Amino acid sequence: MDNGEVARVLAEIADLLELTGGNAFKVRAYRRAAQVVDLHPVPVARLAREGGLAELPGVGERIAEKIAELVETGGCREHARLAALVPAGVLELLRLEGVGPKTVEAVWHRLGVEDVAGLEAACRSGRVLEVPRMGPARAEAILGAIGRHRARAGRTLLHRAIGHAEPILERLRAVPGVRAAEVAGSVRRRRETVADLDVLVSAGDAAPVVRAFTGLSGVVAVLAEGPTKASVRLRCGMQADLRVLPPDAWGAALLYFTGSKAHNIALRARALRRGLKISEYGVFDREGRRLGGATEAEVYRAVGLPFIPPELREAQGELEAAEAGTLPRLVEEGDLLGDLHVHSRASGDGRSDLEALAAAGRALGRRYLAITDHSRSRPLGLDPQRLAAHAGAIRALDGRLRGKPHLLAGVEVDILPTGALDLPEHDLARLDCVVAGVHARFGDPAARNTDRIVRALRSGVVHVLAHPTGRELGTRDGYALELDRLLEAAREEGVALEVNAMPERLDLGAEGCRAARAAGGAGGDLDRRARRRAAREPPLRGVGGAPGVAGGEGRAEHAAAAGAATPPGAPRARAAARARVSRAGGGAPWCSRTGGRRGGCWRSGWSGSGRGTRWCWAWRAAACRSRPRWPARSAPSWTCWWCASWARLGGPSTPSAPSPRGARPACATRRWARPACPRRTWRRSPSARRRRWGGGSACTAATGPRSSWPAGRSSWWTTGSRPGPPRARRLGRRASAGRRGSSWRRR
DNA sequence: GCCGTTTTCGGCCCGACTGTTTTCAGTCG
Ligand SMILES: Nc1nc2c(ncn2[C@H]2C[C@H](O)[C@@H](COP(=O)(O)OP(=O)(O)OP(=O)(O)O)O2)c(=O)[nH]1
Ligand SMILES: [Mg+2]
Ligand SMILES: [Mg+2]
Ligand SMILES: [Zn+2]
């Protein structure tokens, strides 16, 4: 069982526990352990053998037992016990957007819904409405989520995500008042694949930014929109999340929005232990005084840590390493001296001739490029004769280039199923750079694949092992492999392991590189060797010792490919975009015909929980009645908002329909008296408001020992300014709180 | 279930937005 499989079981235990009423913190513990296992470079099977499981962060005695059981027996009794309690289809319901454990539990227990199809039927028939707190808007949202679930967008490759993000950033940076706009989240952490685009904007006034964002030309639906953040679905299928925060909170905001979630939680817990609080608004002490947050480094410093690069922020031990001063120095773009895996037009993979490749390499600042076209078993691959001619051409050009950059005559020789190389060794030995890789027959068992590759490495003519795992992101997993044995052979033979930069490959990836370092520990040595070598001689002669990493493939080619990409069209007018949005069924379900005024209720100015609602609950029904949105169907009686909304869902609307609810005309069903939409006469108690603004539904701030907020809080009420964390106040008031405050005073 | 610069017991990150109900719970970032 590999780490991915173990992680899946642990995560499923978390889901099962959640649906069977397990302790929420226990659920979190399993979920975190699953992530740690998933990202860990060393197979947990080996850790289990060697007794190293407990060293994984978030893995204690009990979870270690489960992992050991899993790798030994392929199963886990606890998992089996829980799985017997929950139908498989019910677990799948958790994957629906906007549907969480509470909703799943409710539809499963109260309605007997056991899979996605069952939930869909319940939404269409109206049965879901029997569940508490379930109304037509939620039913509609669930139907939408089911549709998207079936289309299953999946995760997007990093380079595509970056491409989608750029025009958005450009547009937002042009909004007056915007100081900075960056993409955060997993894109900034440079994960190989990402689920969405997380865009952070620094601006004193959030409202225009949110408007510009929801009005972007690529937006097909607005999923949520408030005074400081919004979420949209883009035409490309991705979701994009915007967050706007004031400039002096930039560091804290970037830290928050870059994540990962587990890193945030660990860092905030650390702050808590030191009597501090970290949020996206900054660092605060017990008295609520703000200690900083302008830069990320400032936030880390406040909890006694050095800056941690985004790529490491996965709660995989980087906080401990930072504390101990043992954070690794990352290989940066500027460390890349050359590219040892480049295809030209001479074989199928390349599109450029040698001159163009050299020019692209020069433009990227590479000191050397190895031209490594495919060998004969690949389509259009080189046989010995063509190879010799090609090598001659490369060397001739290299002579003319005078080191700008150095060109190396090479080849990417196929490793045949037997482990033999696809070209005679005496031909390979004449080249400057021999890259060897597996390109066909991926289905063999691990031992056989490993034998095959190890035999090739032992040939003595191979410099670099290309794309060592053979994976293609989103298409196929790597071939089965005994990575440990492969690393050992590479170390003995002095063969470098490639870090293939083709966006679909990224092979070795982060975990593979860490495994290689753990095995031979020579990545850093190779760096130094490479630098020294590049300073005085062409690369690769004399590479020996341990497996290191060699950059390769795709860099130059991709520069060319990226240049050819069509730039996205200019953003259209906001109004047009909005119209499209509403046609697409996005945005608020209520009263969107009445226009775009945002920021509190149209009539009372009240904005309850702080969202940019057009109608407070008391007013919206009345307003809708006075401007009927739905033509009064043949129904003679008045239709309350609830039932009218239900009718929009396409639910049964005639008295004879069998639906348990909403079927009979108007509101007899719901027994809402005709003047049912009352003006609000009650007034929320200040104490309730205080609780609400304590932050977090558990409201630990209001009850727990670390709560220091309430001290100053009553004044928020009496002054009418918006309560909340200090930085929220400013931004919130500008966005929408002014009207809200006065309306409250009026009552 | 995990974990400790207050703690080996008793905590567990913090905030925004939405739908719905008559004052918050649920979900998400
Ligand atoms: N403090 C805190 N921050 C969170 C939480 N969930 C998400 N975040 C922050 C950190 C995340 O990196 C950032 C963006 O959230 P996403 O859901 O988009 O996750 P992320 O981009 O990390 O991965 P993804 O590829 O989108 O799945 O928001 C949370 O529960 N607490
Ligand atoms: Mg994200
Ligand atoms: Mg996101
Ligand atoms: Zn290849």
In sequence order, the β-bridge partners of residue A282 are A279
What would the mean pLDDT of A88-111 be, rounded to a whole number?
95
**A436 & A550 share domain:** yes
What would the mean pLDDT of A526-542 be, rounded to a whole number?
36
Task: Answer yes or no: is pLDDT of A149 > 80.
Answer: yes
From A575, A570, A573, select the one nearest A592 (Cα to Cα).
A575
Supply the pLDDT for residue A552: 52
Give the residue with greater pLDDT, A184 vs A639: A184
Query: Which nucleotide comes closest to A18 if you measure CA to C1'?
Result: B1
**A242 & A363 share domain:** no
A583 is a domain residue: no
Q: Does at least one atom of strand B sit less than 7 Å from the CB of A688?
A: yes
**A90 & A186 share domain:** no
For strand B, give the nucleotides within 7 A of a protein CB.
1-7, 11-29
- A435 SS3 class: strand
A311 is a domain residue: yes
**A254 & A135 share domain:** no
A603 is a domain residue: no
Supply the pLDDT for residue A506: 94
Quote the domain boundaries for residue A309.
156-324
**A535 & A421 share domain:** yes
Q: Does at least one atom of strand B sit less than 7 Å from the CB of A695?
A: yes
Supply the pLDDT for residue A23: 92
**A60 & A204 share domain:** no
The ipTM (two decimal places) reads: 0.91
Task: Answer yes or no: is pLDDT of A554 > 50.
Answer: no
What would the mean pLDDT of A40-48 be, rounded to a whole number?
93
Q: How many domains does chain A have?
A: 3
What would the mean pLDDT of A162-172 be, rounded to a whole number?
97
Cβ atoms of residues A574 and A209 within 8 Å: no
Atom of ligand 1 nearest to the CA of A189: 22
The single residue listed with the structure tokens 């953003």 is A571
Task: Answer yes or no: is pLDDT of A400 > 70.
Answer: yes
Q: Edge to edge, what strands does the sheet with A277-279 contain?
A: A277-279, A282-284, A290-292
* Parallel/antiparallel/unpaired status of strands A406-414 and A368-374: parallel
**A48 & A194 share domain:** no
From A92, A96, A90, select the one nearest A148 (Cα to Cα).
A96
pLDDT over 70 for what percent of chain A?
A: 69
CATH code of the domain in which A124 resides: 1.10.150.110
Predicted confidence band of residue A516 (pLDDT cuts 50, 70, 90) = confident
Which residues from 368-407 of A have any strand B atom under 7 Å from their CB? Answer: none
The single residue listed with the structure tokens 């929420």 is A24
Supply the pLDDT for residue A151: 85
- Among A148, A174, A206, identify where a domain stops: A148
A367 is a domain residue: yes
Task: Answer yes or no: is pLDDT of A273 > 80.
Answer: yes
CATH code of the domain in which A497 resides: 3.20.20.140
A686 is a domain residue: no
Supply the pLDDT for residue A12: 97
**A258 & A407 share domain:** no
Task: Answer yes or no: is pLDDT of A688 > 50.
Answer: no
For residue A196, the CA-to-ligand 1 centroid distance in Å is 10
A592 is a domain residue: no
- Among A569, A584, A611, identify where a domain stops: A569
Distance in angstroms: CA A322, C1' B18: 39
Q: How many CB atoms lie within 10 A of CB A402?
A: 8
Tokens of A190: 């440079």
pLDDT over 90 for what percent of chain A?
A: 62
A371 is a domain residue: yes
Cα A130 to Cα A138: distance, rounded to the nearest angstrom: 12
**A564 & A423 share domain:** yes
Q: Does at least one atom of strand B sit less than 7 Å from the CB of A278?
A: yes
Cα A694 to Cα A688: distance, rounded to the nearest angstrom: 10
- Among A324, A341, A357, identify where a domain stops: A324
**A473 & A370 share domain:** yes
CATH code of the domain in which A183 resides: 3.30.460.10
Question: HSE-up of A242 (CA within 13 Å, CB side)?
Answer: 37
**A192 & A221 share domain:** yes
Cα A37 to Cα A570: distance, rounded to the nearest angstrom: 43
Cα A724 to Cα A728: distance, rounded to the nearest angstrom: 6
**A92 & A241 share domain:** no
Tokens of A158: 């990093």
- A150 SS3 class: helix
DSSP string covering A478-523: PPP--HHHHHHHHHHHTPEEEEE--TTT-BS-HHHHHHHHHHH--H
Average pLDDT, chain A: 75
